[in-house]
Amino acid sequence: MSHAPSTVTIVTARVAFVALLLALWIIGSSAYGSAVLPSPLEVVATILQGFREGWLIHATLVTLSEVLPAFAIAAIVGAGLGIALGLARFWGDVLEPMVLGVYSIPKITLYPIFLVLFKLGLASKVAFGFFHGVFPIEILTQGATSTISPTYLKVARTLNLTPWQTAAHVVIPAIVPAMAVGLRLAFSLTFIGVILAEMSASRAGLGFLLNAADSTFDSRRTLAVIVILAIIGIGTNLVFYALERRVSPARPEARQATLAM
């Protein structure tokens, strides 16, 4: 019987991977020069300067003020539609290919439509972020809902539970693990959607800073913004990953041990 790696081993491997990336970064900076690839220390200095002068804090707060409402709307709408279509098997089968088809479209090509509908400003960026994030949680929630045992739903009908009570006491507890995965993916895609919107047509935010620094060949600011984006993205993913492990019916170690028996 094989044993799953311990948490200490996983954390050690992650730290080693980060150290390897930093070493490659330092080697690349030495090889190409700081004008092309600034060193980690130069990027950290730029980040600290951005915080002292306020431009990096302001851009980060603007981006978060757009990402959070977009993600909240995507989570509510996606989970609601997923549960509804998962329970209504006929409409789920009818609409699922259409949902997957729209999901496969490169969404940046649709941003001009969002500008026409919502104009230049907060609304268009929130809507574009929502459009990126709503699909994964809807798809995963619908798939998990459609696999709920019909016996549970029959018991709910026997007890004369209302649709809201059925969703709260039967459906949602059964699909929490899938929803946790969907929320993690939804946040990542919502974050990407907002950044793309800021890069395309915006006057504030981290995406705007990234586009402005790139257009002026300011590699230090470009990497500084990328580092902040990476910290936000990785940090939130770690939080959602911890949530997934907490609500999962079985720990990954237990599942792997069971499969190996």
Residue 251: per-residue pLDDT: 46
Q: How far apart are CA 139 and CA 199, in angstroms?
A: 28
Evaluate whether 131 touches 70 at the Cβ level (below 8 Å).
Answer: no
HEC sequence for the chain = CCCCCCHHHHHHHHHHHHHHHHHHHHHHHHHHCCCCCCCHHHHHHHHHHHHHHCHHHHHHHHHHHHHHHHHHHHHHHHHHHHHHHHHCHHHHHHHHHHHHHHHCCCHHHHHHHHHHHHCCCHHHHHHHHHHHHHHHHHHHHHHHHHCCCHHHHHHHHHCCCCHHHHHHHHHHHHHHHHHHHHHHHHHHHHHHHHHHHHHHCCCCCHHHHHHHHHHCCCHHHHHHHHHHHHHHHHHHHHHHHHHHHHHCCCCHHHHHHHHHC
Sign of CA dihedral 46, 50, 55, 58: positive
pTM of the model: 0.81
Residue 260: per-residue pLDDT: 35
Residue 202: per-residue pLDDT: 81
Evaluate whether 156 touches 48 at the Cβ level (below 8 Å).
Answer: no
Burial class (CB in 10 A: 0-12, 13-18, 19+), 227: middle
Residue 1: per-residue pLDDT: 47
The dihedral formed by the CA atoms of 243, 246, 249 and 253, expressed in degrees to the nearest 10? 110
Residue 2: per-residue pLDDT: 52
- Tokens 């004008």 label which residue? 35
Give the count of beta carbons closer than 10 Å to the beta carbon of residue 60.
20
Contact residues for 199 (Cβ-Cβ < 8 A; gap 6+): 207, 208, 210, 211
pLDDT by residue for the chain (261 residues), tens only, comes to: 456 667 778 778 888 888 998 898 888 888 887 777 888 888 999 999 999 999 999 999 999 999 999 999 999 999 999 988 888 888 878 888 888 888 888 888 888 888 888 888 889 899 999 999 999 999 989 888 888 888 888 888 888 878 788 888 888 888 888 888 889 999 999 999 999 999 887 888 999 999 988 888 888 899 999 999 999 998 998 888 888 888 776 544 433 333 333
